[in-house]
Chain A
Amino acid sequence: MEIVMCILAGSLFAAGIYMLLQKQLLRVILGTALLSHGAHLFILTMGKLNRGAPPVLEKAAESYTDPLPQALILTSIVISFGVTSFLLVLAYRAYQTNHTDRMDELKGLEDE
């Protein structure tokens, strides 16, 4: 299963990067969202999948899945949410001010 998930995470990365290389601001932001999904899956996979019960203590369980990667991912999800929403509003403002969301038109003035 881990191998499959590794490939899936890699594919998410590839798709995210392809979006990142596009010329439209929105696609770039969508790309970062895909990238962070890939990264989260990646971290989870590194901590071994499906070994024991969910990490909530109960008497019946003998072993639990690794709780540490889950805690890390939880932090990461929240942070990437903050960054994504910031980027979204930034894109919104940039479009409002510049009246374009084409990356190649957002280059500043010639004499800068």
Chain B
Amino acid sequence: MLHYYILAPFLAAAIFPFIYSDSRRLHAGWFVLPVPVVLFIILLQKLSVLISGDTIMQTVRWIPSLDVNLDFYLDGLSMLFVLLITGIGSLVVFYSIYYLDRTEQLKQFYVYLLLFMGSMLGVVLSDNVFVLYTFWEFTSISSFLLIGFWYKRKRSAYGAQKSMLITVMGGLSLLAGLIILTNITDTTSIRGMIAAQEDILNSGLFIPALLLVMTGAFTKSAQFPFHTWLPDAMEAPTPVSAYLHSATMVKAGLYLTARFSLIFSGTDAFFLLVTGIGLITLCAGSFLAVKQTDLKGVLAYSTISQLGMIMAMLGFGTGGAVLAAIFHIFNHATFKGSLFMVAGIVDHETGTRDIRRLGGLMSLMPVSATLAFIAAFSMAGVPLPILNGFLSKEMFFTASLKISQTTSLASAFADFVPFLAVFGSIFTFVYSMYLVFGTFSGKGNVKDLPKKPHEAPKGMLAAPAILVILVIIIGLMPNLISGSLLAPATEAVTGEKALVHLKFWHGVNIPLYMSLAVVIAGTLLFITLKKWQPLYGRIPSYASADRFYNGLLSVLTNGSKQLTNGYMTGSLRLYTMIILAFLTGAAGWFLWRTGGFAFSTSDLAPVTIPELIIGAVMLIAAIASVFMTHRIAAILVVGVVGYGLSLLFVFFRAPDLALTQLVVETITVGLFLLCFKHLPKLWPLNKTAGEKFFDLIVSLSTGTILTLIAISAHSSKWFDTISHYFVETSYTLGGGKNIVNVILVDMRGLDTLFEITVLGLAAIGIYIMIKLRTKGD
């Protein structure tokens, strides 16, 4: 059945455009909505299977010879993601019905969205690594299409290209890592790899595999330094930002890390890489979020930092940390999804997302404001019993205090990690407050806004309201999902049976002090925000990843352009020189390396004077032809070489050759003379000494190499000639006494046929060249 769930969105995407064009009265989203809703309900029923400790595994053969099959596997971790994808998917589709105008290209929008949904389901359900990779790239492509939805806007195209380049770069690195893992373990199944963990850890390729796989996860989940695509992806329509760039796709990297942590976790390298990058991302993301002036910009950096926090917890690797990570994945999806939707509402109702222009919307949009406040307080981790964000944040603090249990390396850092966690959380608090108070409180110039703001329609408010209600319910009764959803998911990541009981009040302990410190410091910083926010202007621009990305891109394009322009000069002389230099170098190197040069005087014909004289004349003529400055002289000198050759043919007992050469040489010389009447005079070589020198070097070395090859080929004959067969059978089989002619027309007649064709083609070509004139000739 799992296959049908994944297939359903793809099928819907294929059928939907045909259905929709027939009935235009309803918004297209209503046709799409049933798909995620039905999937969500069906999958919700599978929860009972997981609670009882079972998993679901199904296989369909795809490429059995390569061990690539559509193996789908549903365990606690997949379940969490599947429910997020279909659940938030339903809400986003519902929201987009009210958000997107009928004049938009809805058909494309929903086809892309369905493609994305299907591929995301494929990512989290695949057990076969190559199927996983296939769906992984599908999500990159559909995300690219969605970001570039308003393709006429320059920023959209730029953001789409950027996200594509970065995530596909990570995807390819993931593929390399998966291939390494497959080679080590000889299986393509993730569970098979987990079973063969020992082999992977003991393999010399462990570190490269870890790095490559994690690069894939980091790029997808917008971790430092690959986070730079996410803020630019905010050019997408807001439902897309809410769905892809907060709740689902950016968590694919977290899913991958969690999925592979049974293989990698517990090693120093994994801890250092994942926790290190996660903490850097947490701190940098939350710090930079305060700098933003765009609502969605703040949310993008906030997503980056929250993802960093979850990544760091996955890096801790303890049971408590993994539980906190899983819990926070769920919580983040609820509050961040609703915040994006509220940001979309504000944009929709006021016409701007610029915080500097917004303010004082609380009385005009009370419902949106309430939703935003609850979600943002949850994001900030304000210690109230109705906010799920506080629970997971405190679990994060608890986990950060216990990392010394994990690996030896971890204990070395154990003293610093809690401080970094608090630092990141303080700024999280600041930007959360900045976000909601900046938008909804204060005076604000309502008249200056592009639109006259008023409360959004109920349909648009429904989706964020549902998410915020979830925030409160989970905040009040966290154990509602602890046994059914969180425990199986934690179990799938750590491999151990997890007993989960969440409660709001842990007594007065260090994490509580940390939370209080965050709230106090955060409040102080927020109140004084106006005084220190200008400091962001002092951050040197070369320190930004964005600038690095643009610089790298222009270095690559300009560099390759310069490189290509460097050797693709359009000069035949240079190309010939490169070809010949390579030929000479390769042949010479090979001859030298293999000791291929041979010189034997054992089987030589005697040297006779007439032949020597002819040879000498030819040599002189060939050299002289180079220096000829008169055209007739040049033709005649080259003709001397040809006639000399035909004389040599006579001496070497090749009568047919001599005859042909004589005739051909005569015609060629005649042709040259004919043509030269219409051609310019030869002009002096007038080349610089350097050019002459290079010409000389190239021609002499090529000539030398060819001579050496000729001599060694002649000196080392390994087989006797086959010509005695031709001699014996020329008359008996061919019926002719002239052996060369019998070979030409009888034994190897096919050569002759095509040689005639060549002549015919040359003749036709010449005729066309002379006759065919373009205009202006």
Q: What is A's interface to B at a CB cutoff of 8 Å? A: 1-24, 26-28, 30, 33-34, 37-38, 40-42, 44-58, 64-68, 70-71, 73-75, 77-79, 81-86, 88-93, 95-97, 101, 103-104, 107-108
Contact = CB atoms under 8 A, between A and B. Distances in A.
Given A2-B714, A11-B619, A17-B699, A55 B727 contact: yes
Nearest to A76: B755
Nearest to B766: A89
Contacts of A20: 576
Contacts, number: 265
A19 B660 contact: no
Interface stretch (B15-23, B426-434, B737-745): B737-745
B739 A79 contact: no
B191 interface: no
18 contacts: A5-B648, A15-B625, A20-B576, A27-B682, A44-B657, A49-B605, A50-B605, A55-B740, A57-B730, A65-B653, A67-B723, A67-B727, A68-B721, A68-B743, A81-B759, A82-B762, A88-B671, A91-B679
Given A56-B738, A57-B737, A18 B721 contact: no
Given A13-B706, A21-B699, A79 B654 contact: no
A12 B758 CA distance: 25
Interface in B165-198: none
Contact of A3 (B604, B723, B727, B743): B604
Contacts of B723: 47, 64, 66-68
B654 A6 contact: no
Nearest to B731: A57
B743 A71 contact: yes
Contacts of A30: 625, 634-635, 638
A85 B671 contact: yes
Nearest to A64: B727
Q: How large is the interface on B (under 10, 10 to 19, 20 to 34, 35 or more residues)?
A: 35 or more
Which of A13, A27, A42 has most chain B Cβ within 10 Å?
A13
4 interchain residue pairs of minimum CB distance: A14-B703, A10-B707, A82-B762, A18-B699
B618 interface: yes
B682 A26 contact: yes
Given A13-B706, A81-B664, A89-B766, 15 more contacts: A3-B601, A9-B710, A12-B618, A12-B641, A13-B702, A17-B698, A21-B699, A22-B573, A33-B668, A49-B652, A64-B739, A68-B743, A74-B744, A78-B758, A103-B571
Contacts of A51: 605
Contacts of A10: 703-704, 706-707, 710
A47 B641 CA distance: 21
B649 A26 contact: no
Given A45-B714, A64-B727, A88-B675, A34 B652 contact: no
A85 B668 contact: yes
A107 to B, nearest CB: 4
